[in-house]
Chain A
């Protein structure tokens, strides 16, 4: 319990946890929370300014923006968690293997990640989705392809650091096999930098996903998604700016909350580096 309290005493963690909790609840219970069915198009109600009936207003098809924003949390959060989850699994495995065995395996894996990192990640994701075709699955795939490299880098760096520790040698001396040592002795000790990376990564991925959807490459316009909503509202930005303000705010708050959470986690886990340094290691 004292462990948990240490995390909760951190104000950044506390605030971001409340926001993230609210967002996750929004995504999970969207059916109950949304005041309207977002599929109902009522053209007589189109482009309504925010009011008591429609707190966020309505869009050009008469759909309630608040309801769409609530459903939008589903798309954004699930994309964020899926992409980071899969990238983490790939990056962690490859990074640990590269760092632990070294030699040619390290060389092959790291040159591969380097070649991915040579491109700006947004540009690469754009090119991949353009190549694979529009759609949420393809967007997820594209984001995984650009995202795993940073996890591989961080995991490898942390592995190299831990590998030289006495207890890693000790584990060999008492007869541990390589797999056993990697899973039992190495992984738990590199978890903190990787966890911080993952939290910050979710924010980045949500932002990138919104960006791709804004460009029309991600989520289909029929499913509510913040980036796609921004794109749809683009035409009306001068006359009805709330069409863009509210989805934009949703993206901002979500990304900020994840970044705050990652920062707070780093402070508590006593990682002696700041966010830019961490990103510098990628």
Chain B
């Protein structure tokens, strides 16, 4: 399987008044064509920063190192102008809250047409027509009249679908979806999953950034577990839910309501003064001396990788 996105040794540190926040440390993974890759983790574990790093939209105080390449070309060396051509064209995006992510003053149809006329050299009329057919494909009918309406005239679910239509308008090869199910009830969640599957079926790869484990389970081919700025485990979805290797992954799954809701003891560590050795050791029941002092390497075991001394 050839890969569409390859992230190698990416570190993002954010300079703040209180010190350097190690938002992403030594992140390496790759996403294959047509693959849905989910990055799961607690709030504040650096997931979204990784998405921003791929888009090269990191805040000014971020220090970036490592390499991100898209279909073989490195994104880190591109100019801002070249990057603008990739955003929305090769890499599409789907946002958290459709009410906040759609401009209230522009007609929905025009907002969907926008990436097409900026990226695909379409005329405005052609782009508008395409937008109408996109709306209808996402069951917003009649597309022509609906396209002329403003976001406030849409229901939440419709707007979510319209936003997916906007994110996928320019036929991207990869879509980054950052917390698409945040603040959404479970029925709506199924609807989103359904829409995503339709897009994925057309051969689009997904980078799903979420703390919603159920959603990740329903959508993803592979799952990466992010904790305190580090990826601790990457595994195919079924294997991950059958047998999580890393103690944190296991603890995370045990904290789900259907598995008895056992909380992970202890607080999340500071992202500025990260624990020595394994970042999970203060909360890990298997931790020994080596875990406290030496950082475990990423170890590959039959198709999955894990960062834990138990498997090193």
Chain A residues at the B interface, C-beta cutoff of 8 Å = 103, 165-167, 169-177, 180, 184-185, 188-189
Contacts and interface: CB of A to CB of B under 8 A. Distances in A.
A172 B80 CA distance: 11
Contacts of B69: none
B199 to A, nearest CB: 15
B103 A189 contact: yes
Given A103-B60, A166-B95, A170-B95, 8 more contacts: A166-B96, A167-B102, A169-B95, A173-B95, A174-B88, A174-B167, A175-B84, A180-B118
A275 B254 CA distance: 58
B88 to A, nearest CB: 3
Question: B88, B97, B167: which has the most chain A beta carbons within 10 Å?
Answer: B88
A175 B87 contact: yes
A116 B102 CA distance: 38
A184 B107 CA distance: 12
Given A166-B95, A166-B96, A170-B95, A175 B85 contact: yes
A182 B48 CA distance: 25
Given A173-B57, A174-B87, A175-B89, A167 B100 contact: yes
Given A166-B95, A166-B97, A173 B88 contact: yes
A172 B87 CA distance: 8
A171 B106 CA distance: 12
B88 A175 contact: yes
Contacts of B97: 166
Q: What 10 pairs across the A-B complex have the smallest Cβ distances?
A: A166-B100, A174-B88, A175-B88, A175-B87, A166-B101, A167-B103, A170-B101, A173-B93, A175-B84, A188-B105
B86 interface: yes
Contacts, number: 60
Interface string B97-134: 10011111110000000110011000000000000000
Interface of B: 55, 57, 60, 81, 84-89, 92-93, 95-97, 100-106, 114-115, 118-119, 166-167
A165 B104 CA distance: 11
Nearest to B60: A103
Given A166-B95, A166-B96, A174 B101 contact: no
A111 B37 CA distance: 48
A160 to B, nearest CB: 16
A165 B88 contact: no
A250 B101 CA distance: 49
A165 B97 CA distance: 11
B57 A185 contact: no
A172 B93 CA distance: 10
Contacts of B86: 175
A173 B87 contact: yes
Question: A166, A177, A188: which has the most chain B beta carbons within 10 Å?
Answer: A166
A171 B115 CA distance: 9
22 contacts: A166-B97, A166-B100, A167-B100, A167-B102, A167-B104, A170-B102, A171-B103, A172-B57, A172-B87, A173-B55, A173-B57, A173-B88, A173-B95, A174-B114, A174-B115, A174-B118, A174-B167, A175-B119, A176-B88, A176-B114, A176-B118, A177-B84
Contacts of A172: 57, 87
Question: B89, B93, B96, B119: which has the most chain A beta carbons within 10 Å?
Answer: B93
